[in-house]
Amino acid sequence: MLTDSPVLDTEAVRREAGRRRTFAVISHPDAGKSTLTEALALLARAIQDAGVTHGKSSRHATVSDWMGIEQERGISISSAALQLTYRDTVLNVVDTPGHADFSEDTYRVLAAVDSAVMLIDAAKGFEPQTVKLLAVCKARNIPIITVINKWDRPGLDALGLIDDVGERTGMTPVPLTWPVGIAGEFQGLIDLRAERAIALAAIGAGAQAAEETDVDIDALDPHEAGAWLEAREESGLVESSNGSFDREEFEAARQTPVLFAAAAKNFGVSQLLDILVDVAPSPSPRPSKDAGPRAIEAPMSGFVFKVQAGQDSSHRDHIAYLRICSGTFERGMVITNQRTGKPFATKYAHRVLGRSREVVDTAWPGDVVGLVNATSLRVGDSLFSEEPVQFPDIPRFSPELFAVARAKDPGRYKQFRRGIDQLEHEGVVQVLRSDLRGDQAPVLAAVGALQFEVAAERLGTEFNAPTSLDNLSYTLAMRVGPESQGVPETFRGGEILFRSDGEAVAVFGDKWKIGHFTKDHPGVVLEPIGAAV
Ligand code: GDP
């Protein structure tokens, strides 16, 4: 068997890792994330299928299989990670739940990606959720490809948007495509990499790539040439002021390539697919806490970036999502949990797609695997075979929602306490306590309301401790530095609470209260939570 040979195995791992791109689409709700993801999936398949020969058709069998299932019921991107094959490259699109599903998980999944596609609505520019996700990417130095979407609708000015991208991201925006026609009059693209001008036309809706026709701008009729000449001039202006694309600058998150698109019409989407293949980074050696970066070809290792539990009453199981960092994952292999030292048998490894699950037999660096019945696994756990490794912790993120939890039935306090401890360990919610509030009434803290819903549901059903949650009017938390002097228990507009590891956190009603606080308590050092990664 080939896998018995370590040399061939190493080559296979390198080859497979090299053809993987693991990324997330970050955006504000409604910017078109689902539409773009669907367009990427449909086009990747349509373009691949349009090829005359696929000698190795089994290579994308997985994609077609799920496409078959998912097409019947409409594409669901509620899955943790969607896998597509395009130009012999495997694209792992890791979902960043938004809307009502926005939670600390939305931030944590960014620990599992090698790059991000930042989607911006051409009419709305930067919106709050995009800004928050961008900050997490920036803190992790994740390379970002910017896509300005909905160019088929009236919107802002292209040059103005480019300036905005530069200001908001702190990176130099470098357009790789430039739109022909103002927002709302999307006629084509200048592909600056290929030095082509392309007229775009929609061929019906759905799985069809847009019709692309090469245009010779200099040969156009003068009355037709206006928008094309303007696009050429504007893109030239940006290039002369911002420079051209530089892979090193992009990978260091100092440059962001920019594309223009209308995902709903599949305009600009095939260009994005090509850019993901040509430009987005493949998995690289992951830094570890103890032993330097883990080489891609080292024995299997990965870390848990998300645990889903108790949300679906029909399967009351825990699924731990593992990002593979090195080696070959094979279903059935026994791996070790670094935190507990205990073995974990990967009998039930799945790629979870919406509500359907597909068994994963083999996975490579960059892939995401859902481990089912993983009650012993927590967010941040490192798993390995053979050579131990501990990957850096996934940081906590600054909570914005706070609620006091109390057992509805005081006779169930023991169950309540066990449940709260478990939810804290799993990272479902952050738990803050103080002597003033007492152990019976801990404060739960979260970045999204879903975290409270999940916590209350699990306390009631899994731990048999129905719980009431009373919202507090705080919106901000800051870490109290250990060197602080004269820390008060309470103060106007906030209070001091403690995590179970003893770290003190000050919570505030709004940012103005922080100003009052620092004036009244000059010895207290406040630090942001979750910014330094
Ligand atoms: P999400 O919340 O970011 O996943 O956004 P959706 O993909 O659900 O899109 C929100 C709305 O915008 C839907 O009605 C889409 O049809 C529409 N939409 C998405 N992309 C485009 C686009 O390129 N052009 C136009 N005109 N509408 C779009």
**Model confidence pLDDT, tens digit, residues 149-168:** 999 999 999 999 999 999 99
Reported for 1-8, long-range contacts at CB under 8 A and 24+ positions apart, including other chains, are 3/328, 3/330
Closest approach atom of ligand 1 to CA 261: 23
pLDDT at 201: 86
**Model confidence pLDDT, tens digit, residues 203-222:** 765 556 778 899 999 999 88
**Which residue ranges form the domains of the chain, and what is each CATH number?**
10-51+71-79+86-283 (3.40.50.300), 287-384 (3.40.50.300), 401-528 (3.30.70.3280)
Banded model confidence at residue 526, pLDDT cuts 50, 70, 90: very high
Alpha carbon 329 to its chain's center: 22
Closest approach atom of ligand 1 to CA 28: 3
Residue nearest to atom 17 of ligand 1 (CA): 32
d(CA 262, CA 230): 20
Ligand 1 in reach of 365 Cβ (< 6 A)? no
pLDDT at 346: 79
Banded model confidence at residue 307, pLDDT cuts 50, 70, 90: confident
Q: Please list the residues that pair with 494 across neighbouring strands.
A: 491, 508
CB 77 within 8 A of CB 38: yes
Ligand 1 in reach of 263 Cβ (< 6 A)? yes
Banded model confidence at residue 430, pLDDT cuts 50, 70, 90: very high
Ligand 1 in reach of 210 Cβ (< 6 A)? no
pLDDT at 61: 32
Complex confidence, ipTM: 0.99
Query: Which tokens hold the place of 531?
Result: 């910014």
Share of the chain above pLDDT 90, in %: 64
Ligand 1 in reach of 28 Cβ (< 6 A)? no
- Across 393-422, b (16+ Cβ under 10 Å) vs e yields ebbbbbbebbbbbebeeeebeebbbebbeb
Query: Which tokens hold the place of 59?
Result: 């290579």
Give the Å distance between the CA of 264 and the centre of ligand 1.
6
Mutate which of 25, 28, 30, 185 for ligand 1 pocket (most atoms within 8 A of beta carbon):
30
CB 252 within 8 A of CB 172: no
